[in-house]
Structures are given as C-alpha cells and as structure tokens.
Amino acid sequence: MPIATEIEDTDSIRESYFNQMLDRLENIPDNMSKILLFTKDLMPSMILNQITMHSKEMLTALPIHWDRLQI
C-alpha cells in the first residue's frame, strides 16, 4: 500500500467518529452534548501511517455545525 494515500472527505470521518465516541462515552452518566465546552481534533492527512504528523497546521477546532456542538 502506498504510504501516502490522501484522506478524502475528512470532515465526515471526523464527525462520524466524534458522534460514535460520544455515544459510547454516554454509556457513562451524562448527556455529553449539553456539557461540551471545548473541542479540537488532530486529524491525520494521510491514511493509516505514521508519517502523517508532519503537517504543521493540524490542530483544528471542530466545525460548530455538528449537532453535538450546538451547546
């Protein structure tokens, strides 16, 4: 597999995982969507390899239009 396969449609991947993680975390006690104060993420620019971390601009605030972020 080429080690530099660009990830397409990163936003939908991020949103889908964010929602899934929160769903699974919500097995704990609270409705997380009501208590979120702050969110950022670190998204690899390439798929499934560790050379992705070279980008300087990778810390991104999550898009506020996601349902879970409408606090």
Residue ranges binding other proteins (CB under 8 A) = 1-3, 13-14, 17-18, 20-21, 24-25, 27-30, 32, 35-44, 46-54, 56, 59, 62
Nearest to other proteins of 50, 70 (CB atom)? 50
Q: How far is the CB of 52 from other proteins (least distance, A)?
A: 4
Q: How far is the CB of 65 from other proteins (least distance, A)?
A: 17
Backbone angles phi, psi at 59, to 5 degrees: -85, 115
CB burial string 18-56: b at 16+ within 10 A, e below: beeeeeeeeeeeeeeeeeeeeeeeebbebeeeeebeeee
Nearest to other proteins of 13, 70 (CB atom)? 13
Supply 58's token pair. Answer: 């990778």
